[in-house]
Amino acid sequence: MVDNLSTKSESEILAIEIAGIKFKNPVLTASGTFGYGLDFAELIDLNRLGGFCSKGLSPKPMKGNPPPRIVETHGGMLNAIGLQNIGAKAFVTDKLPLLRNYNTQIIANVFGYSLDEYIEAIEILNQGEGIAAYELNISCPNVKEGGIVIGNSPSAAASVTSAVKRVAKRPVIVKLSPNVTDIKQLALAVESAGADALSLINTLVGTSIDIYSRRPRLANITGGLSGPAVKPIAVRMVYEVAQVVKIPIIGIGGIANWMDAVEFLIAGACAIQIGTANYYDPTCSIKTIDGLLEYCKKQNISQISELVKSIKLIAK
């Protein structure tokens, strides 16, 4: 019997579950592009979002890099914000009590420059009521180990994951860096270290030079590339990782509308995050939710999870 989709509610069609967390729809906003959520409450109805990821939180507040920190590029932007944030404690005391009033899942994005810092931040956040999960940003250098970027080394990424899993009171989503030769190896390493889910991708390292002054446009010289320009790389990485892991994947990278979101779901993501698009259209996430619902109804898809990893490969 074919379901009569017209009688199904939005949440019946769009609801998804990741690592035991129920999301009313698969649309989340990405870390660093949505502040601590509250700034956007005047622009959109936060209650409609599946969830949102906080700006990356460290145990202590951080000032970030000197300006200029953002450069526009074709189809995207480079940022070198340098993980400026208010610190985990201020997030728990100042932001969470207000955020809890909204009916959406709150994901705390966490980073550290050493294993101890990750653990310290998680222990502070464990005290906060209303956080659904942690998302670990592993695209940062480990200062105690000669500055190697944790997310570039399967063994370093696995060590951070298992150490955090030991203390975390909530599910742990590990956010993978695309700046690696084979992202599948990273995904498999953190999966066996106990990650509950993966999110990918973070930004791609790039730079931009002013041809008249011959100076880098960013004070930091390099920055992270994001926006529509990175989408094909992100879809490829989600597809590759979905072929090898069993844990759920949240797709990120250049999503600017519902059609982009559908593409990520078909490639293997269970949910998606919208990042850079929030800058030029703060209503992008809401339009994406509406578009997904419309698409499901028109395509006779009674539950959006039917789309996940539904890519049709040509038989060899």
Under the criterion CB under 6 A, does residue 227 sit at the interface with ligand FMN? Answer: yes
Nearer to ligand FMN, 109 or 153 (CB): 109
Under the criterion CB under 6 A, does residue 174 sit at the interface with ligand FMN? Answer: no
CB of 238 to ligand FMN, least distance (A): 12
CB of 275 to ligand FMN, least distance (A): 2
Look at residues 157, 160, 164 and name the one whose alpha carbon lies nearest to residue 183. 157
Residue pair 157/174 in contact (Cβ under 8 Å)? The answer is yes
Measured distance CA(92)–CA(90) in Å, rounded: 5
Under the criterion CB under 6 A, does residue 206 sit at the interface with ligand FMN? Answer: no
Query: What would the x/- binding string for ligand FMN be over residues 239 to 268, using CB under 6 A?
Result: -------------xxxx-------------
Under the criterion CB under 6 A, does residue 220 sit at the interface with ligand FMN? Answer: no
Look at residues 245, 222, 73 and name the one whose alpha carbon lies nearest to residue 176. 245
Which listed residue (153, 161, 220, 226) binds ligand FMN by CB under 6 A? 226
**53 annotated active-site:** no
Two structure tokens written together for 1: 């019997």
Which listed residue (28, 83, 296, 308) binds ligand FMN by CB under 6 A? 83
Q: What's the distance, Cα to Cα, between the start and end of the chain in Å?
A: 34
Which listed residue (56, 128, 154, 251) binds ligand FMN by CB under 6 A? 56
Under the criterion CB under 6 A, does residue 197 sit at the interface with ligand FMN? Answer: no
Q: How many CA atoms lie within 13 A of 80 on its CB side?
A: 18
Phi, psi of 30 (to 5 degrees): -85, 150
Grouping H, G, I as helix, E, B as strand and the rest as coil, residue 123 is helix
Look at residues 198, 200, 201, 203 and name the one whose alpha carbon lies nearest to residue 188. 198
Among all residues, which ones are annotated catalytic? 140
Residues that bind ligand FMN (CB under 6 A): 30-33, 55-56, 79, 81, 83, 109, 137, 175, 202-203, 226-227, 230, 252-255, 274-276
